[in-house]
Amino acid sequence: MVTHNNRSLSIAIRPAATELYDKAMDLSTKLSIPLIQRETKEYEFLLICSADGLALQQNGKKGLGPIMISFTSPAMTYRIKHGGDRKQALARAIGLKKGWQPTVIDATGGLGRDGFILACLGCRVHMLERSPVLAVMLEDALQRASQSEFTAEIISNRLQFTHADSSIFLQNLLPEDFPDIIYLDPMYPKRTKSSLVKKEMRILRGLTGDDQDTAALLDMALTRVRNRVVIKRPRLAPVLSSLMPSHQITGKSSRFDVYLI
């Protein structure tokens, strides 16, 4: 058992091929998780070190995956081409305008999709994630994307990543470093339909648990930002702060609460 985010996590790392042993060994040391050589169901999660990148698999009854973070996958490319326009709900919530390239702290990095979309829309994004496992997966995906012709420019100029707890990171931020926007997309409360549909989110929930400290994170974010805080919520969920949002942008299953400063 390894403790991550104050939760006991049963996870091991396995190299998918012998030539990846050294890389898997380094990660095993970095994450303080056991290195195993053969497939086993002994651990709830398995981080697979493959030639294509790091993949996460959940074993047991709820067995899911493996999933890999990719900024160059056909699904992501499709989302950028077709959903990456300025009319989409996320872009409207962020308040994107032509010629404005806001700085954004994406304080709940997760699988990096929203942060990457925001970078594709022209924002300068600093993504934060506190889960050590997701952090190495994000770093791995960013490294791969930095070598792809399609994404290299976005990664090197507009997307930065730090493994950190956002509450502590924001608390220590100097006023001159306050971003224009702070974006939050905490793990939805359990059993909402939207959180159950996608296998990626189900694995993520198993790995990180519920984000129960989001109200405090939102309160902190409101004191560390220049223009607005945007928080993604299930469509019918109550607002998370004692403050009412300035406005809301509601989609099919989710909603963006926008707090203008």
Ligand X SMILES: C[S@@+](CC[C@H](N)C(=O)[O-])C[C@H]1O[C@@H](n2cnc3c(N)ncnc32)[C@H](O)[C@@H]1O
* Cβ closest to ligand X, residue 21 vs residue 219: 219
Terminal C-alpha separation, the chain = 43
In the shown chain, the binding pattern of residues 212 to 241 toward ligand X, with x for contact by CB under 6 A and - for none, equals -----x------------------------
Number of residues that bind ligand X (CB under 6 A): 22
Q: Applying CB under 6 A, which of residues 204, 218, 225, 231 lies at the interface with ligand X? A: 204
* Cβ closest to ligand X, residue 15 vs residue 109: 109
254 contacts ligand X (rule: CB under 6 A): no
Question: What residue is closest to ligand X based on CB?
Answer: 110
Q: Residue 81, Cα to own-chain centre: how many angstroms?
A: 20
DSSP 26-95: HHHHHHT--B-SS--SSSSEEEEEETTEEEEEE-STT-EEEEE--SSSHHHHHHHHHH-STTSHHHHHHT
Q: How many Å apart are CA 190 and CA 194, to the nearest integer?
A: 10
187 contacts ligand X (rule: CB under 6 A): yes
Rg for the chain (alpha carbons), in Å?
A: 18
CB 27, min distance to ligand X, A: 18
DSSP-derived pairing of the beta strands 228-234 and 64-68: unpaired
Residues 6+ apart with CB under 8 A from 127: 105, 106, 109, 112, 115, 138, 159, 160, 161, 162
Site residues for ligand X, 96-135, by CB under 6 A, read: 107-108, 110-114, 128-131, 134
CB 46, min distance to ligand X, A: 18
* Cβ closest to ligand X, residue 111 vs residue 258: 111
CB 120, min distance to ligand X, A: 13
Window of 18-26, 78-86, 183-191, 236-244 that interacts with ligand X by CB under 6 A? 183-191
Q: Which amino acid is at 95?
A: G
Site residues for ligand X, 160-179, by CB under 6 A, read: 165-167
Q: Contact at 8 Å (CB) between 192 and 232?
A: no
* Cβ closest to ligand X, residue 44 vs residue 211: 211
CB 153, min distance to ligand X, A: 21
Q: Which amino acid is at 247?
A: H
141 contacts ligand X (rule: CB under 6 A): no
Q: How many Å apart are CA 99 and CA 136, to the nearest integer?
A: 33
CB 180, min distance to ligand X, A: 18
Chain residues that interact with ligand X, rule: CB under 6 A: 107-108, 110-114, 128-131, 134, 165-167, 185-187, 204, 208, 211, 217
